[in-house]
Structure 1
Amino acid sequence: MVNQILSINNGVAAIHNCDDGTSELAIYKDGHTTLYTLNPSDTFQQIRDKALECLGAQHRQ
Protein backbone atom coordinates (compact mmCIF):
# COMPACT_ATOMS: atom_id res chain seq x y z
CA MET A 1 0.00 0.00 0.00
CA VAL A 2 1.26 3.48 -0.86
CA ASN A 3 0.02 6.73 0.65
CA GLN A 4 1.23 9.91 -1.00
CA ILE A 5 1.81 12.50 1.71
CA LEU A 6 3.43 15.35 -0.17
CA SER A 7 3.83 16.55 -3.72
CA ILE A 8 5.75 19.73 -4.51
CA ASN A 9 7.74 21.04 -7.46
CA ASN A 10 10.89 19.35 -6.14
CA GLY A 11 9.39 15.85 -5.99
CA VAL A 12 7.01 13.51 -4.25
CA ALA A 13 7.02 11.78 -0.87
CA ALA A 14 5.03 8.66 -0.08
CA ILE A 15 4.71 6.10 2.69
CA HIS A 16 5.10 2.48 1.61
CA ASN A 17 3.76 -0.26 3.87
CA CYS A 18 6.01 -3.28 3.35
CA ASP A 19 4.96 -6.94 3.38
CA ASP A 20 6.96 -7.54 6.58
CA GLY A 21 4.88 -4.99 8.52
CA THR A 22 7.41 -2.16 8.40
CA SER A 23 6.93 1.18 6.65
CA GLU A 24 9.25 3.29 4.55
CA LEU A 25 9.28 6.91 3.49
CA ALA A 26 9.95 7.01 -0.24
CA ILE A 27 11.30 10.22 -1.74
CA TYR A 28 11.00 10.57 -5.52
CA LYS A 29 13.22 13.44 -6.68
CA ASP A 30 15.17 14.17 -9.86
CA GLY A 31 14.41 10.73 -11.29
CA HIS A 32 15.76 8.92 -8.22
CA THR A 33 14.07 7.08 -5.37
CA THR A 34 15.44 7.16 -1.82
CA LEU A 35 13.93 4.99 0.92
CA TYR A 36 14.02 5.73 4.65
CA THR A 37 12.86 3.16 7.20
CA LEU A 38 10.22 4.59 9.53
CA ASN A 39 9.94 3.85 13.23
CA PRO A 40 6.53 2.76 14.55
CA SER A 41 6.67 5.71 16.96
CA ASP A 42 7.13 8.33 14.20
CA THR A 43 4.25 10.78 14.06
CA PHE A 44 2.77 11.99 10.79
CA GLN A 45 4.25 15.44 11.47
CA GLN A 46 7.74 13.97 11.94
CA ILE A 47 7.40 12.02 8.70
CA ARG A 48 6.13 15.09 6.85
CA ASP A 49 9.00 17.21 8.21
CA LYS A 50 11.51 14.57 7.06
CA ALA A 51 9.88 14.54 3.62
CA LEU A 52 10.09 18.32 3.35
CA GLU A 53 13.72 18.26 4.44
CA CYS A 54 14.59 15.59 1.87
CA LEU A 55 12.83 17.52 -0.88
CA GLY A 56 14.68 20.71 0.02
CA ALA A 57 11.56 22.63 1.03
CA GLN A 58 11.18 25.04 3.92
CA HIS A 59 8.52 24.18 6.48
CA ARG A 60 6.82 26.13 9.21
CA GLN A 61 6.88 25.10 12.83
Structure 2
Amino acid sequence: MSKNPCIDICKFADDICIGCGRSKREIKHWKKLDKAERRVVLAEADLRLLALKLAGRRKSR
Protein backbone atom coordinates (compact mmCIF):
# COMPACT_ATOMS: atom_id res chain seq x y z
CA MET A 1 0.00 0.00 0.00
CA SER A 2 1.01 3.60 -0.50
CA LYS A 3 2.65 5.25 2.45
CA ASN A 4 0.73 8.03 4.15
CA PRO A 5 1.91 11.31 2.53
CA CYS A 6 1.47 13.39 5.70
CA ILE A 7 4.49 15.57 6.51
CA ASP A 8 3.09 16.83 9.84
CA ILE A 9 2.19 20.29 8.55
CA CYS A 10 -1.56 20.12 8.99
CA LYS A 11 -2.70 23.59 8.00
CA PHE A 12 -5.44 24.16 5.48
CA ALA A 13 -6.07 26.61 2.67
CA ASP A 14 -9.49 26.24 1.07
CA ASP A 15 -9.94 22.70 2.51
CA ILE A 16 -6.54 21.56 1.15
CA CYS A 17 -3.66 20.70 3.46
CA ILE A 18 -0.69 22.89 2.57
CA GLY A 19 1.65 20.13 3.75
CA CYS A 20 0.47 17.07 1.80
CA GLY A 21 -2.02 18.51 -0.71
CA ARG A 22 -4.93 16.29 0.28
CA SER A 23 -8.41 17.49 1.13
CA LYS A 24 -9.83 16.96 4.61
CA ARG A 25 -12.12 14.27 3.17
CA GLU A 26 -9.19 12.45 1.51
CA ILE A 27 -7.20 12.54 4.75
CA LYS A 28 -10.14 11.17 6.71
CA HIS A 29 -10.72 8.29 4.28
CA TRP A 30 -7.04 7.50 3.48
CA LYS A 31 -6.90 4.19 5.39
CA LYS A 32 -10.03 2.93 3.59
CA LEU A 33 -8.73 3.61 0.07
CA ASP A 34 -7.29 0.84 -2.06
CA LYS A 35 -3.96 1.16 -3.85
CA ALA A 36 -5.44 2.55 -7.09
CA GLU A 37 -7.55 5.11 -5.23
CA ARG A 38 -4.51 6.23 -3.24
CA ARG A 39 -2.53 6.73 -6.45
CA VAL A 40 -5.30 8.99 -7.78
CA VAL A 41 -5.39 10.99 -4.55
CA LEU A 42 -1.60 11.36 -4.58
CA ALA A 43 -1.58 12.52 -8.21
CA GLU A 44 -4.28 15.10 -7.49
CA ALA A 45 -2.47 16.18 -4.32
CA ASP A 46 0.74 16.74 -6.32
CA LEU A 47 -1.14 19.04 -8.69
CA ARG A 48 -2.65 20.94 -5.77
CA LEU A 49 0.76 21.34 -4.12
CA LEU A 50 2.18 22.69 -7.36
CA ALA A 51 -0.66 25.22 -7.54
CA LEU A 52 -0.06 26.20 -3.91
CA LYS A 53 3.67 26.58 -4.58
CA LEU A 54 3.02 28.79 -7.59
CA ALA A 55 0.67 30.89 -5.47
CA GLY A 56 3.36 31.15 -2.77
CA ARG A 57 1.27 29.25 -0.21
CA ARG A 58 3.13 25.89 -0.05
CA LYS A 59 4.92 24.92 3.11
CA SER A 60 7.88 22.56 3.26
CA ARG A 61 8.95 20.11 5.91
More strand by share: 1
More helix by share: 2
Indicate the TM-score class for this superposition, using the shorter chain for normalisation: 0.3 to 0.5
State TM-score, norm by structure 1.
Answer: 0.34
Higher relative contact order, chain-length normalized (CA < 8 Å, sep 6+) = 2
